[in-house]
């Protein structure tokens, strides 16, 4: 019942925000800002830069609110804007590393998402591991492993080839695996 009430409340807030009601916009911002900051932080290491990207994203949310069609969740719609804004921010600050490695290496890659999820590390530890990745690797890893994008979608959003997307994912996984092995050996006292 609370979910239905929350949905009705959010729906009403969206209608009011469409009429430029600042109070409704503020409430929607407060409802979604913490999660959206986390989304931006997956892509952008620096908290202040992530906040900047999030605020730019919310500016777009409210200026493009009339394009929201209620075909999915409002939160999902905002999340897509935040992902695009984070990637745009990264593009404007740095160019993505282009890798020319063979995609055949992917066959050797072990999936480490399970290791991260099943580990006893907290979200902050996992975020630090992800933050340690170079920007291009981190963006592809987060989009694929966390956000669930497919390589063809990643290639379109990042303006890279599918092969580069796959290669960057492979390299990101390899780096994370090396860090996990190192951390586990430290935890077990076998370093």
The predicted-structure confidence for 66-82, as pLDDT tens digits, reads as follows 999 888 889 999 999 99
Residue 5: per-residue pLDDT: 52
Give the tens place of pLDDT for each residue, 83-116: 999 988 887 775 443 333 323 333 333 334 444 4
Q: What CATH code is carried by the domain that includes residue 10?
A: 1.10.1740.10
pLDDT beneath 70: ranges in the chain: 1-8, 94-122, 190-191
Residue reference for tokens 């911002």:
29
Same-domain status, 144 and 72: no
Give residues with Cβ within 8 angstroms of 191, minimum separation 6.
Answer: 182, 185
| Domain presence at residue 98 | no
Burial (0-12, 13-18, 19+ Cβ within 10 Å), 122 = exposed
* pTM, two decimal places: 0.60
Domain limits for position 77: 2-93
- The total domain count for the chain is 2
Same-domain status, 80 and 56: yes
């Amino acid at each position: 019942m609370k979910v239905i009430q929350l949905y009705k409340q959010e729906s009403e807030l969206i209608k009011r925000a469409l009429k430029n009601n600042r109070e409704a916009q503020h409430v929607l911002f407060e409802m979604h800002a913490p999660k959206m900051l986390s989304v931006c932080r997956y892509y952008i290491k620096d908290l202040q830069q992530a906040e900047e990207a999030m605020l730019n994203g919310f500016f777009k949310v409210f200026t493009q609110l009339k394009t929201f069609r209620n075909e999915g969740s409002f939160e999902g719609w905002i999340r897509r804007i935040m992902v695009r804004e984070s990637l745009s921010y990264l593009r404007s600050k740095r160019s993505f590393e282009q890798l020319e490695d063979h995609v055949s290496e992917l066959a050797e890659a072990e999936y480490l998402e399970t290791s991260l999820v099943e580990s006893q590390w907290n979200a902050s530890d996992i975020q630090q591991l992800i933050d340690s990745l170079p920007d291009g690797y981190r963006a592809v890893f987060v989009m694929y492993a966390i956000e669930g994008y497919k390589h063809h979608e990643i290639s379109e959003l990042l303006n890279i080839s599918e092969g580069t997307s796959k290669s960057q994912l492979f390299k990101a996984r390899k780096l994370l695996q090396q860090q996990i092995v190192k951390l586990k050996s430290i935890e077990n006292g076998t370093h």
